[in-house]
Amino acid sequence: MSARTDTFSERLEVFSHAKDDEAYDQYLDLLLAVWSGGEAAPGALAAAEETAERLGRAPAGRRGHLVLLLGLLAETGEPGLRDRVRAGLHQPLALLDTLREREPLGAALVYLLAHFPEEASRILPAVRRAPLDPDDLARLERCLASFDAESPGIGRSWPSPARWVLSDAEREQERRWLATLSDEAKTAFWTKDTRTLLAYMGAKAACAVATGRVGSEAPAPALAASEQIAVPGSPVPGSPVPGSPVPGGSVPGRAAGELPRLDEHLGLLHCPSCGGPLARRESGVVCRGCAADYPTRQGYLDLSGEAVGSGDQIAGNSPLYLSWYEPLLRPAFLRVNGANWNGTVSVADEDRYLAEHVRPVDGPLLDLGAGTGRWTQVLTRILGSERVIAFDLASTMAERLTEVVPSSLVVRGSGGGLPFADGALGAVNCWNTVQSIDQPFATVREIGRCLGKGGTFTMLTYRRSPDPLYRYFQRQHEACLGVAAFDQREMNEALDSAGMDVVDTYAPGTFLIVTAVRR
């Protein structure tokens, strides 16, 4: 690798002529000379002007890197810097005429141009003639649009406005929700949506320039029968899991007061307030120690002690969240947080990992943060519904779980204080959840307390990228969506402190997929 140089101009020259296998390292050296973690460094103004001037003469394979650099400088908010980048926009706009389909340059261009809604009349005619990805174009158009309180379209722009094709019923649902919001709340939603889109566009561009590839955003195909989990006594591969939605049909639910499997698991549960044992009553359970009442709501046992609707941090943002989570939102989370832009980890891989690593000892498996229940269904197929307890803090998710796994016990509660006796659980699964919990390491300690000796804890979450550029966009998503990334060493230490030994780690991209066993 070439030696470091001192001036931005020298670094730019070295980057422009670097070998392909050295180019990205030289790019980071160039970028970090004038930008770090969203902040501009001294010399950024001159660097922005020189970068724009050099765009047309840069090697074709390096132009996306320079355009991304301009976008990062424009985003810093440094006085005068955004204006300097704006003054040179004619240079990146000219590159649209040279653009080829699925080129990293296209992802970088839309990220840069999205910062300048005041230039929409100049930008939009040019980009609509270019061979841009339809999702990239839709994101750019949304970022350049003006806010309209009468028709804001909030809560359904990320990851791409083009993907949100609503039914009449969904539009009516959205209309009723919008009627409850003030103009100030709508404006705040609009601003947050814009920031989240910019973070998504930047992460896509960063991955594209780092790898030279633009990942597909096409919806994941349905699993073939050969890819689905099959175990003795489970449904035939390709058939729906009992309680799962059927196209054109409805999901069989349960009566409001019905709590399947509660009597089987009641002895393992305890009062989240005082730790006392619980007793059954007609409308829920009561603590034998402090006499606290815990009700049944819509077919689930509510041990949260919170009002319905609290704890629904993400689901509460839009009434459309639940129905759009699995087909649209979750794959986008994995692309951004796991750097899964090129589909390294598939849904079939996730299913297979659980089938190979979940090994319960005596006691039920707790699916912690079960969400919409996609992986709860997989676990019931593997273990049987009688051994699975679905658990989530969000009331909307708990209601959904009663429909998706109607033969399993569903409990609403907090991961920071699990309502289970010490060593009561045979296994715990926490799939794509711990990064959204307020106190994740406290939850890890609780898992260790409740897990029986020899039982497995399986977890899918995310680690901080070692790349300072990609890590910046991870942090932007954390600020907008509350989805954290962890230092892998710190997570391993938390597991060890909770009495668990890590026996398997799978960490492609920025995923952190772990199996630990309770000592």
Q: Cβ(393)–Cβ(269) under 8 Å?
A: no
**Burial tier of 147 (Cβ tally within 10 Å: 0-12, 13-18, 19+):** middle
Closest-CA residue to 415 (of 472, 451, 368): 368
Q: Which residues of the chain have pLDDT under 50?
A: 1-3, 225-226, 230-252, 315-316
Q: Class of the 296-518 domain?
A: alpha beta
Domain ranges of the chain: 8-211, 296-518
pLDDT tens by residue, 194-222: 999 999 999 999 999 999 999 878 765 55
Q: CA-CA distance, 337 to 321, in Å (whole number)?
A: 19
Spatial CA neighbour of 91 closest among 50, 52, 64: 52
Cis peptide before 295 (omega within 30 of 0): no
In Å, the largest CA–CA distance within the chain is 77
**Three-class SS state of 364:** coil
Integer angstrom CA distances of residue 394 from 148, 181, 369, 519: 31, 21, 9, 31
In order of 9, 102, 232, 252, 281, the CA distances from 388 in angstroms are 61, 44, 17, 18, 22
Per the structure block, which two tokens stand in for 123? 């930008």
Output the pLDDT for position 215. Answer: 81
Q: What are phi and psi of 514, to 5 degrees?
A: -135, 145
Q: What share of the chain is helix, strand, coil (3-state, %, to 5)?
A: 50, 15, 40
- In this predicted structure, what is the pLDDT of residue 229? 54
Sign of the CA dihedral running 117, 118, 120, 126? negative
Element (H, E) at 452: strand 451-462
Render the burial of 272-281: b for 16+ CB within 10 Å, e for the rest.
beeeeebeee
Q: What token pair was written down for 299?
A: 């077919």
DSSP-based three-state secondary structure for 354 = helix
Neighbours of 158 (CB within 10 A): 25
pLDDT at residue number 24: 98
Return the sign of the alpha-carbon dihedral for residues 403, 405, 406, 412: negative
Q: Please list the residues that pair with 500 across neighbouring strands.
A: 518
Find out whether 19 and 56 touch, Cβ atoms under 8 Å: no
> Measuring CA to CA, which residue among 101, 104, 93 is closest to residue 59?
104
Query: What integer pLDDT is reported at residue 308 of this predicted model?
Result: 72
**pLDDT, tens digit, 9 for 90 and up, residues 55-74:** 999 999 999 999 999 999 99
10 Å Cβ neighbour count for 476?
20
